Amino acid sequence: MPALRLILLWHQHQPFYKDLVTGEYRLPWVRLHALKDYYGMVKLLDEFPDVHQNFNLVPSLITQIQDYVAGTARDPFLKVAAKPAKDLTVKERHFALQYLFQANTANVIGRYPRYRELWERYREHGHSAEKAERYFQPRDLTDLQVLSQIAWFDEFFLEDEDIAALIKKERNYSLEDQSFVIARERELLGKVLPAYASAAKNGSIEISATPFYHPILPLVCDTNAGAASSPGLPLPQNRFRHPEDAREQLVRALDLHQEVFGVRPRGVWPSEGGVSDETLAIAHSLGIKWMATDEGVLGRSTGVFFQRDGNGRLPPHLAERLYDIHHYENAQAEMHMVFRDHTISDMIGFVYSGMDPADAAAHLLRNIKDAAQSVLAQGRDAVVSVILDGENAWEYYPKSGREFLRRFYDALQHEASLEAVTVSEAISRHRNLSPLKSLVPGSWINANFNVWIGAPEDNRAWDYLHQAREFYAQHSARSSEAQRKLAFEEIMIAEGSDWNWWYGPEHHSANDRDFDELYRKHLSNIYQALGATPPDYLSQPITGGEVRPAFTPQSAYIHPRVLGDKVRYFEWMGAAIFTADQRAGAMHGKQFLLDSVYAGIDGTFVYGRLDFAGPVPEMAFDLVVNLESWASGEARPRRTLRLDAKVRDRQLTEWKVEGREESAPASSNKIDETAKAALLRNFEFRLPLSWLLAKPVSHPGASSGTVSQSKPGAPGIAPTSRLRLRFSLWHNRLPVDALPVEGWIELQLVSEWELAAGM
Indicate whether 522 and 607 sit together in one domain.
no
Q: Minimal CA–CA distance to 292: which of 262, 333, 331, 335?
A: 335
Percent of the chain, pLDDT > 90? 73
Lowest mean pLDDT among 2-11, 230-239, 631-640: 631-640
CB neighbour class for 698 (10 Å; exposed up to 12, middle 13-18, buried from 19): exposed
CATH number at residue 683: 2.60.40
589 or 79, higher pLDDT: 79
Q: What are phi and psi of 496, to 5 degrees?
A: -60, 155
CATH number at residue 377: 3.20.110.20
Q: Minimal CA–CA distance to 416: which of 380, 375, 365, 379?
A: 365
Helix (H, G, I), strand (E, B) or coil at 49: coil
Render pLDDT for 133-142 as a digit per residue (tens, 0 to 9).
Answer: 999 999 999 9
Indicate whether 173 and 219 sit together in one domain.
no
Q: What is the Cα–Cα distance from 487 to 387, expressed in whole angstroms?
A: 34
Indicate whether 535 and 556 sit together in one domain.
no
The amino acid that residue 320 corresponds to is E
588 or 86, higher pLDDT: 86
Indicate whether 578 and 494 sit together in one domain.
no
Indicate whether 422 and 500 sit together in one domain.
no
Indicate whether 720 and 571 sit together in one domain.
yes
Q: What is the Cα–Cα distance from 422 to 342, expressed in whole angstroms?
A: 19
Indicate whether 468 and 615 sit together in one domain.
no
Q: Give the per-residue pLDDT at 670.
A: 58
CB 272 within 8 A of CB 443: yes
Indicate whether 467 and 367 sit together in one domain.
no
Q: Minimal CA–CA distance to 392: which of 16, 37, 680, 26?
A: 37
Indicate whether 382 and 462 sit together in one domain.
no
Q: Answer whether residue 734 shows pLDDT above 70.
A: no
Q: What are phi and psi of 253, to 5 degrees?
A: -65, -50
State the average pLDDT over residues 430-434.
92
Q: Answer whether residue 243 shows pLDDT above 60.
A: yes
What's the pLDDT band for 708 if we cut at 50, 70, 90?
very low
Whole-prediction pTM: 0.78
Q: Answer whether residue 591 shows pLDDT above 70.
A: no
Helices assigned H by DSSP within 394-452: 402-413, 423-429
Q: What are phi and psi of 137, to 5 degrees?
A: -80, 165
Domain that holds residue 485: 456-539
State the average pLDDT over residues 536-552.
73
State the average pLDDT over residues 63-69.
98
Domain ends where: 471, 504, 539? Answer: 539
Indicate whether 588 and 737 sit together in one domain.
yes
- Judge whether 82 lies within some domain: yes
Indicate whether 279 and 376 sit together in one domain.
yes
Q: What is the Cα–Cα distance from 151 to 166, expressed in whole angstroms?
A: 12
Indicate whether 527 and 506 sit together in one domain.
yes
- Judge whether 111 lies within some domain: yes
Q: Answer whether residue 231 shows pLDDT above 90.
A: yes
Buried residues in 252-286 as b, exposed as e (16+ CB within 10 A): bbbebbeebbeeebbbbbbbbbbbbbbbbbbbbee
Domain ends where: 539, 560, 575? Answer: 539
